[in-house]
């Protein structure tokens, strides 16, 4: 029987929770021009780096076709933007 949307949601919530819950943020920085180029992207975006060495960064889609932005609940910074980069 194929997975339902509810089953798929639960499965990915568990995977994401197992990876993220309990992590501590060590740094937040934008990707370097080298990282942008290595990904074949046109824009740099923020990387959230954890104390265990893992990091996360937003993407425009699940194929990693370009960088993405983060929306927040902050009135001072409602969006953390990506920054267009000159392709080297």
Query: What is the per-residue pLDDT across 47-75, written as a single tens digit (0 to 9) for each?
Result: 999 999 999 999 999 999 999 999 999 99
User: Do the domain assignments include residue 31?
Assistant: yes
Q: Which domain holds residue 31?
A: 23-84
Reply yes or no on whether the pLDDT at 83 is more than 70: yes
Residue 35 burial by Cβ neighbours in a 10 Å radius (0-12, 13-18, 19+): middle
Reply yes or no on whether the pLDDT at 37 is more than 50: yes
Domains in the chain: how many in total? 1
Non-local (6+) Cβ contacts of 81 within 8 A are 45, 69
pTM for this prediction: 0.84
Query: Please, what is the average pLDDT of the chain?
Result: 92
User: Do the domain assignments include residue 2?
Assistant: no
- Per the structure block, which two tokens stand in for 56? 């996360």
The one-character DSSP state at 39 is: H
User: Do the domain assignments include residue 75?
Assistant: yes
Helix (H) or strand (E) holding 29: strand 25-30
């Amino acid at each position: 029987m194929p997975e339902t949307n509810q089953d798929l949601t639960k499965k990915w919530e568990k995977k994401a929770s197992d990876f993220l819950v309990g992590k501590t943020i060590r740094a937040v920085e934008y990707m370097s021009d080298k990282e942008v180029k290595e990904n074949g992207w046109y824009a740099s975006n923020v990387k959230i780096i954890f104390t265990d060495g893992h990091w996360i960064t937003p993407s425009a889609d699940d194929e990693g076709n370009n960088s993405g932005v983060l929306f927040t609940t902050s009135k001072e910074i409602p969006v953390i933007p990506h920054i267009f980069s000159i392709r080297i």
